[in-house]
């Protein structure tokens, strides 16, 4: 097995603002993100030899044709991928494999979702282990919150936090993400909040309240990739990044039904992290990573993800949160972009959006200089789809060439 490390470069990226775009359709989102990437890389749509497109909502489009028709790509291979919230990572992985095989020289990876045409908040369906009319407490909207909330309850119980202490700890994660998001022009919810705001927000699924949850919305992200040896021909300035590792871990599911499932560790995240750390040669992620964009669909998701990624020891998130280790200027900034919490989560677009955050930070082009990190060398973008016990996790590690 060969590592993909440094074989593939990202030479152009684009990302729409994320939000509730009542006046934009999927084509608008795809065109806006992709043309930003084309212009960034100095290429044209006709230069693209193959493309990967990822989105999760089956109601808004079908197949890879949506990408070809939006960009008027002319009869090239377009592969639609869907791995829930790991979809964005999956598009980049597909593109990287296409390049590493030398089947193509210049490819496009686009992730998008248009979830606000549905008529309700939240995601459409959150199925239990398998589609079933009555088992799994009935698949339905709101299920994602309630299922993650199972992990929050168990985390509190396992580590001896009272519900009040637990909620207060989780609140600090949302406060931190909103602080970051307030400074990011592309974020959706750009306002700072306080711990009291989080604690006083309406309950969605106890113990999680409204401000423990990210919203779903609309957005798209795009990346143009080539093999690293060709990167300078697109970016003579050398301002490109390379892929250090890609990992996807599909869990065997049935965690909620397995007596040895703890609810306090994301097993799929651990597995995908092992894949990328092996590929990238990372021994100590906390020390080596300059930043991590971590799937924070819910506050508890970020907390357990940080532990499962090995950024923090199991059960020790409390110390990191209280010491500010994950904040800007802390030991390892987590979700410096503002995270899903501030951006919202058009599921297919988030993975690429996280890589975009590293790309801009690496280039020193964070849109607001107050949030520009220093000495950015290695970053991790993490997403997991599904629900505790039943995840697919996608991780992309990128860095300086």
Binding residues for another protein, rule: CB under 8 A, are 119-120, 122, 124-125, 128-138, 140-143, 145-154, 157, 202-208, 252-254, 256-261, 263
Whole-number minimum distance, CB 171 to another protein, in Å? Answer: 17
Whole-number minimum distance, CB 374 to another protein, in Å? Answer: 40
Given 85, 214, 297, 393, the catalytic residue: 85
Whole-number minimum distance, CB 146 to another protein, in Å? Answer: 4
Angle at 50 between CA 280 and CA 23, to 5 degrees: 100
**Contact call for residues 33 and 220 (beta carbons, < 8 A):** yes
Distance (Å, whole) CA 27 – CA 6: 32
Comparing CB distances to another protein, the nearer of 149 and 305 is 149
Residue 368 phi/psi, 5-degree rounding, is -120, 120
How many angstroms separate the Cα of 208 from the Cα of each of 25, 30, 146, 171, 386? Answer: 31, 33, 8, 9, 17
**Contact call for residues 91 and 79 (beta carbons, < 8 A):** no
Whole-number minimum distance, CB 260 to another protein, in Å? Answer: 8
Comparing CB distances to another protein, the nearer of 46 and 131 is 131
Is the bond preceding 102 in cis, omega lying within 30 degrees of 0?
A: no
Is the bond preceding 18 in cis, omega lying within 30 degrees of 0?
A: no
321 Cβ neighbours under 8 A, 6+ residues apart: 169, 172, 173, 176, 303
Tokens of 72: 């008027």
Tokens of 25: 């359709």
Whole-number minimum distance, CB 281 to another protein, in Å? Answer: 31
**Contact call for residues 78 and 64 (beta carbons, < 8 A):** yes
Comparing CB distances to another protein, the nearer of 58 and 65 is 58
| 297 in active site | no
Tokens of 117: 């045409």
Given 178, 213, 226, 345, the catalytic residue: 345
Comparing CB distances to another protein, the nearer of 155 and 343 is 155
| Kind and range of the H or E run holding 272 | helix 267-280
Distance (Å, whole) CA 85 – CA 278: 23
Comparing CB distances to another protein, the nearer of 38 and 266 is 266
Whole-number minimum distance, CB 154 to another protein, in Å? Answer: 4
Comparing CB distances to another protein, the nearer of 191 and 258 is 258
Strand 241-250 with 291-293, pairing:
unpaired
Q: Which residues have a catalytic role annotated?
A: 85, 345
């Amino acid at each position: 097995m060969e590592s993909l490390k440094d074989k593939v470069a990202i030479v152009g990226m684009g990302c729409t603002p994320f939000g509730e775009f009542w006046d934009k359709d999927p084509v608008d989102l795809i065109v806006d993100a992709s043309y930003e990437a084309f212009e960034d890389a100095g290429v044209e749509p006709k230069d693209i030899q193959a493309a990967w497109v990822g989105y999760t909502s089956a109601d808004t489009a079908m197949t890879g044709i949506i990408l070809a028709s939006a960009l008027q790509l002319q009869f090239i291979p377009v592969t639609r991928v869907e791995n829930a919230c790991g979809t964005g990572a999956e598009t980049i992985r597909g593109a990287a494999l296409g390049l590493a095989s030398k089947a193509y020289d210049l490819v496009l990876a686009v992730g998008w979702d248009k979830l606000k045409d549905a008529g309700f908040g939240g995601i459409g369906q959150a199925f239990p282990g398998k589609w079933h009319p009555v088992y799994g407490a009935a698949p339905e909207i709101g299920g994602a919150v309630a299922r993650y909330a199972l992990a929050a309850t168990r985390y509190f119980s396992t580590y001896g936090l009272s519900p009040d202490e637990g909620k207060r700890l989780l609140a600090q994660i949302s406060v931190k993400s909103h602080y970051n998001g307030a400074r990011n022009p592309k974020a959706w919810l750009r306002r700072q909040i306080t711990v009291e705001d989080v604690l006083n927000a309406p309950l969605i699924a106890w113990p999680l309240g409204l401000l423990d949850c990210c919203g779903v919305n609309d957005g798209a992200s795009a990346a143009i990739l080539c093999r690293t040896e060709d990167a300078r021909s697109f970016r003579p300035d050398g301002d490109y990044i390379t892929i250090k590792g890609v990992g996807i871990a599909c869990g065997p599911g049935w965690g909620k039904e397995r007596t040895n499932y703890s609810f306090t560790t994301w097993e799929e995240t651990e597995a995908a992290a092992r894949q990328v750390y092996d590929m990238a040669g990372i021994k100590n992620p906390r020390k080596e990573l300059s930043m991590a964009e971590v799937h924070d669909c819910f506050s508890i998701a970020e907390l357990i993800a940080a532990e499962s990624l090995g950024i923090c020891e199991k059960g020790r998130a409390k110390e990191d949160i209280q010491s500010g280790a994950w904040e800007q200027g802390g030991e390892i900034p987590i979700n410096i972009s503002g995270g899903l919490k501030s951006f919202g989560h058009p599921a297919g677009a988030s993975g690429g959006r996280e890589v975009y955050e590293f790309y801009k930070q690496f280039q020193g082009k964070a849109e607001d200089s107050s949030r520009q990190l220093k000495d950015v060398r290695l970053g991790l973008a993490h997403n997991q789809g599904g629900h505790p016990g039943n995840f697919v996790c996608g991780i992309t590690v990128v860095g300086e060439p």
